Amino acid sequence: MKANISYPRKNSLAGRCLARFINGEILEHRDADSITGSYRLAAVVHYLESAHHWSIFRYEQAEPTPDPIGRSAVYMRYMLAEDLIEWAGDDGQQWASDVLNLEAKRIAEREAATPQSAEIKSELLNTLDKQNSTQFALFIGEGD
């Protein structure tokens, strides 16, 4: 079975999740959502198993919810078995490193292209407040 294992594209959602599995991380849906913006971890795991022949270990986890009746939420956690991580070896570790470096580079590029500083946000809010105040004054007849 291990002879058939392949790697997905490095810039794919499956590649980003597999890189974390190879690094020994345990992922659940909330992790995948915060890391990748996708809540489809089960579909990614299925794809890694069916198309690339990785055997992903899964187990159920239950946690209490804020539901006033005391309900617990049951969800899956996913990970690679140690023998598969060892089988991937140095080549797998290098592949995972390449994937995560590509991810970090893309995130940095996106953040650089989108100004997020508090100063810019504050200036924008002040400008909008002034515009709204002026429009309100004109509306009630106090402008001019």
List, for residues 84-124, the tens digit of each pLDDT value: 999 999 999 999 999 999 999 998 888 887 765 556 666 76
> Residue 77 forms beta bridges with which residues?
28, 59
Q: Which domain holds residue 125?
A: 116-144
Residues 108, 50 share a domain:
yes
Residues 75, 133 share a domain:
no
> Residue 62 forms beta bridges with which residues?
74
Q: What is the pTM assigned to this prediction?
A: 0.74
- Collapse the DSSP code of 143 into the 3-class scheme (helix H, G, I; strand E, B; otherwise coil) and give the result: coil
Q: What's the average model confidence in pLDDT over 122-142?
A: 64
List, for residues 13-55, the tens digit of each pLDDT value: 999 999 999 999 999 998 889 888 888 999 999 999 999 999 9
List, for residues 53-65, the tens digit of each pLDDT value: 999 999 999 999 9
Task: Quote the CA–CA distance of 59 and 17 in Å, as a whole number.
Answer: 17
Q: Give how many domains the chain has, as a whole number.
A: 2
List, for residues 68-81, the tens digit of each pLDDT value: 999 999 999 999 99
Q: Are 62 and 12 in contact (CB under 8 A)?
A: no
Residues 100, 29 share a domain:
yes
CATH code, domain with 7: 1.10.10
